[in-house]
Copies of this chain bind each other. A is one copy, B any other.
Amino acid sequence: MSAPQAPSPHPLVRKLESITQISAEERAALEGLQIQTAEFKADQDIVREGDQPSRCFLLLEGFTAAFKSVGDGRRQVSAIQVVGDIPDLQSLHLKTLDSGVVALTPLRIGFMRHADIRELITQFPSLGGAFWRTTLIDASILREWVANIGQRDALSRMAHLLCEIFMRLKAVGLAKDRSCPFPITQGRLAEATGMSAVHANRILMALREQEFIEHARGRLTVPDWDRLATAGDFDPTYLHLQ
């Protein structure tokens, strides 16, 4: 009756379809999942370290970052999320959040109740596998971040991060050709790469001077992908795309 392969307007279906085969039934169930949308302004905390949420949220529009604060007040960003990501999906099985999530831009998000997700998974175990898989990909990215921060020098480190974000945006259709939206301040990039804001600035300027990137007004352009990927020692295997 309906066109069977119409591109789904539903962001959660899109997300999981990029991960696994979704049957018509599962798709219907996903589309029936109750989602409560909300908007946030830039720099607002969506959830905080220590929270015990009963729902998690799907990022519908904008960018977020997960972060932890350490003793002396410094912050480390441990992940950056783009459209389609579910930043706190781990709260489904871990009662207490071990990191906060902050809006990097104005956001539109969709809350999904844990109870509803659990019911969905009970009914369609293969969807449970898909959700599980997304958290495993997040963990894989974290391992790469550990290696990135632990071993690469500042220039490679930053280049690597830029490669990752660019490629993940491409995967969700937000990167056109050689450029993508990039509304992330140098301060945040510094927190994500474990360097000072001043040094992040110098490294970004070096990357621009040597024409690895163009970066202005919230857009990132990569004139020569291979060159940037080489500088960042970037191998996308860990993203487990496709």
Any B CB within 8 A of the CB of A68: yes
Inter-subunit contact B139/A90 (CB<8 Å): yes
> Taking the complex as formed, is A138 at the interface, i.e. its CB lies under 8 A from any CB of chain B?
yes
Q: Does A7 contact B (CB under 8 A)?
A: no
Q: Which B residues are in CB contact (< 8 Å) with A137?
A: 94
In contact, B240 and A96 (Cβ under 8 angstroms): yes
Q: Which residue of B has the minimal Cβ distance to A240?
A: B94
Counting every copy of the chain, the complex holds: 2
Partner of A194, one of B94, B98, B136, B149: B149
Stretch of A53-61, A125-133, A208-216 that contacts chain B: A125-133
Q: With A93-B133, A93-B136, A94-B240 given, can you name 8 additional A-B contacts, CB distance below 8 Å?
A: A79-B143, A90-B136, A90-B140, A98-B238, A98-B240, A135-B136, A139-B142, A149-B149
Q: How far is the CA of A75 from the CA of B144 in the complex (A)?
A: 12
Q: Is A99 an interface residue (CB 8 A)?
A: yes
- Chain A positions near chain B (C-beta within 8 angstroms): 50, 66, 68, 70-72, 74-76, 78-79, 90, 93-96, 98-99, 121-122, 125, 128-129, 132-133, 135-140, 142-147, 149-152, 156, 191, 193-194, 233, 237-238, 240
Find out whether the CB atom of B94 lies under 8 angstroms from the CB atom of A133.
Answer: yes
A146 lies within 8 A of B149 (CB): yes
Complex Cα spacing A78 to B147, Å:
7
Contacts of A151 in B (CB 8 A): 70, 74-76, 194
A74 to B233, CA, bound (A): 12
